[in-house]
């Protein structure tokens, strides 16, 4: 950031917006300086999108003033906002999919900056290279991956050389390397004097890239802070309105004589094992480790998606043969998939149908579904899970990520037999408020007698939610951290310490159960 340049390139002064009876924004002020990256964070429904809509001219505020590069935006006109020096990369992209990359780039460029039509391809090639974006200029945009389209959307916004750039959830489809590329793009432009307003629910990324952070809650500003002085816990507390340690439901100690519900002996599959593990009713067990160390394959074998190679699986006192997902479901082992839209939900169906589709026999007689009983049950359940939806028939594709995940969670609550819940990254892409509801729902199922395994890449989440955490490296369990020792620091130390596991046939950090696995693997 250019420390000497404090010119305000965007000002929102006491803006308010009401939709019907909902006050989306109330007297919110925000400014962005030339050369800075100013993040805006908040839960879903906190007013972030409305704020960007007003700043970009798409939404007309009820009260307040918008200044772009020192000049007042007098109409709710995106064209006027662009003329004053504002650029915006849209979350849902604004590309003509049937046109090529070069044509979309050409259309997005102001006339004074466009090349002649015949030089379009070379110009597009040079421009993409400048932004380190490896795209074929003649390729139709529809053939780009979601990540490529998202990065291309940012390039389209930058090419007009705006004074201030608005980014709405720019990393939702990006992997770590692509996030680094995006951050390099905007940091380079910020160093050149451009202001950036960065809206995201990914707090670690925000803390990495932002200079200042404004927090919204229920349409009101909770203040603007220097990013260097904030932590993820600080931001979560401001977003939810209570201390971070209150974010997790209370843990009920699992008794030593609690009934075992799942026992794995020599359990082995592709890229993992053999693993010995016992789960008791009522406990939440975390699964940690660097990505690609067998956690995903472990979940797939345990949920019946991939047949295991070897091992004994006992669930509720019965030996299982897991050769299909139906085997797992019959045994009461339910998967809460990480990829909600493709593996867990039917996006075009409504909330009610998604919740009951696997248990329609509970509401039917002689092949006919009792809609009144189904509606009453689902209505009570979505209130309990705090699902925000305008109606039970709302297609889940139009719900937020957190509400989609809660709809997935409705299924275990409707089943009579639930022994084990496999929750794979249950809060990925979910805002802070919805996370709390998901934590409470998982803990509630544990209180009812199920065992829950949570695979998460967030050590804060694991340390706050779980009774114990097992750490995997190179397909082996290398450590087991009990509740008394659980902390973010302890989990990270174990993961980092286990990276060298397997190089010389032993783990650098290992608990008793890991040592048992290791000795069996060696034939000892």
Residue 508: CATH number of its domain: 3.40.50.300
Is the same domain home to 240 and 272?
A: no
Q: What is the structure's pLDDT at 257?
A: 67
Q: What is the structure's pLDDT at 501?
A: 43
Whole-number Å distance between alpha carbons of 143 and 145: 7
**Total domains in the fold of the chain:** 2
Residue at 17 is within a domain: yes
Q: Reduce the DSSP state of residue 496 to 3 states and report it.
A: helix
Whole-number Å distance between alpha carbons of 92 and 170: 10
Q: Give the structural domain span for 470.
A: 260-332+417-522
Q: What is the structure's pLDDT at 515?
A: 33
Whole-number Å distance between alpha carbons of 229 and 502: 40
Tokens encoding 20: 């019907």
SS3 content of the chain, % helix, strand, coil (to 5): 40, 25, 35
Is the same domain home to 179 and 213?
A: yes
Q: What is the structure's pLDDT at 383?
A: 86
For residue 513, CA distances in Å to 237, 238, 269, 490 come to 36, 40, 18, 17
- Strand-pair partners of 37: 196
Is the same domain home to 166 and 83?
A: yes
Predicted structure pTM score: 0.60
Is the same domain home to 291 and 437?
A: yes
Q: Assess contact for 227 and 207: CB atoms under 8 A.
A: yes
Q: What are phi and psi of 455, to 5 degrees?
A: -90, 120
Q: What is the structure's pLDDT at 497?
A: 65
Work out the angle at residue 178's Cα, subtended by the Cα atoms of residues 403 and 106, and round it to the nearest 5 degrees.
Answer: 100
Residue at 212 is within a domain: yes
What end-to-end distance do the CA atoms of the chain give, in Å?
Answer: 59
Q: Assess contact for 340 and 346: CB atoms under 8 A.
A: no
Among 287, 345, 279, 357, residue whose Cα is nearest residue 316: 279
Q: Reduce the DSSP state of residue 38 to 3 states and report it.
A: strand
Ramachandran category for residue 13: left, alpha or beta (phi over 0 → left; psi -120 to 50 → alpha): beta
Q: What is the structure's pLDDT at 460?
A: 81
Residue at 387 is within a domain: no
Residue at 65 is within a domain: yes
Residue at 406 is within a domain: no
Whole-number Å distance between alpha carbons of 313 and 308: 10
* CA 45 to mean position of chain CA atoms: 16
**Average pLDDT per run of 10 along the chain, which is 524 residues long?**
67 91 88 96 81 92 94 87 90 77 87 85 91 89 86 90 92 83 94 94 88 92 94 83 70 73 94 92 92 88 92 93 90 83 80 84 81 88 84 85 82 84 84 78 90 89 91 90 87 69 35 35 36
Q: What is the structure's pLDDT at 227?
A: 94
Is the same domain home to 264 and 241?
A: no
């Amino acid at each position: 950031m250019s420390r000497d340049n404090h010119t305000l390139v965007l000002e929102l002064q006491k803006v308010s917006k009401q939709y019907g009876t909902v006050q989306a924004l109330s007297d919110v002020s925000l400014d962005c300086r030339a050369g800075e990256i100013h993040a805006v964070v908040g839960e879903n429904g906190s007013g972030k999108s409305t704020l960007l809509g007003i700043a970009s001219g798409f939404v007309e505020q009820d009260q307040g003033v918008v200044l772009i590069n020192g000049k007042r935006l007098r109409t709710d006109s995106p064209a006027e906002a662009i003329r004053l020096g504002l650029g915006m990369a849209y979350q849902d992209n604004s590309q003509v999919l049937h046109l090529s990359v070069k044509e979309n780039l050409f259309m997005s460029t102001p006339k004074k900056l466009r090349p002649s039509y015949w030089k379009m391809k070379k110009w597009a090639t040079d421009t993409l290279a400048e932004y380190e974006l490896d795209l074929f200029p003649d390729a139709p945009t529809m053939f780009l991956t979601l990540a490529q389209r998202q990065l291309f959307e940012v390039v389209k916004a930058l090419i007009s050389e705006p004074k201030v750039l608005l980014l709405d959830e720019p990393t939702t489809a990006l992997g770590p390397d692509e996030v680094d590329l995006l951050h390099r793009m905007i940091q380079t432009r910020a160093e050149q004097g451009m202001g950036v307003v960065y809206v995201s629910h990914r707090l670690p990324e925000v803390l990495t890239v932002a200079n200042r952070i404004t927090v919204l809650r229920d349409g009101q500003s909770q203040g603007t802070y220097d990013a260097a002085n904030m932590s993820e816990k600080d931001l979560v507390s401001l977003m939810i309105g209570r201390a971070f340690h209150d974010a997790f439901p209370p843990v009920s100690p699992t008794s030593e004589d609690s009934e075992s519900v799942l026992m794995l002996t020599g359990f082995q599959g592709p890229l993992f094992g053999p693993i010995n593990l016992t789960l008791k009713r009522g406990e939440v067990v975390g699964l940690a480790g660097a990505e690609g160390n067998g956690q995903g394959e472990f979940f797939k074998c345990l949920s019946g998606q991939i047949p295991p190679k070897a091992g004994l699986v006992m669930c509720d006192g019965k030996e299982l043969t897991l050769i299909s997902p139906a085997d797992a479901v019959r045994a009461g082992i339910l998967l809460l998939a990480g990829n909600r839209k493709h593996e867990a939900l039917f996006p075009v169906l409504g909330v009610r149908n998604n919740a009951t589709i696997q248990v329609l026999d509970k509401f039917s007689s002689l092949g006919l579904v009792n809609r009144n009983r189904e509606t009453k049950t689902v209505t009570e359940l979505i209130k309990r899970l705090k699902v925000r939806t305008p109606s039970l028939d709302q297609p889940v594709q139009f719900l937020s990520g957190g509400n989609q995940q809660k709809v997935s969670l409705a299924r275990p609550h409707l089943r009579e037999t639930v022994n084990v819940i496999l929750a794979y990254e249950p809060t990925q892409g979910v805002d802070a408020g919805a996370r709390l509801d998901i934590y409470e729902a998982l803990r509630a199922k544990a209180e009812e007698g199920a065992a829950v395994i949570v695979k998460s890449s967030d050590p804060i989440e694991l340390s706050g939610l779980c009774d114990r955490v097992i750490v995997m490296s190179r397909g082996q369990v290398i450590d087991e951290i009990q509740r008394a020792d659980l902390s973010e620091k302890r989990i990270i130390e174990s993961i980092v310490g286990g990276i060298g596991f397997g190089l010389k046939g032993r783990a650098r950090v290992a608990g008793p159960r890991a040592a048992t696995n290791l000795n069996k693997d060696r034939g000892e």
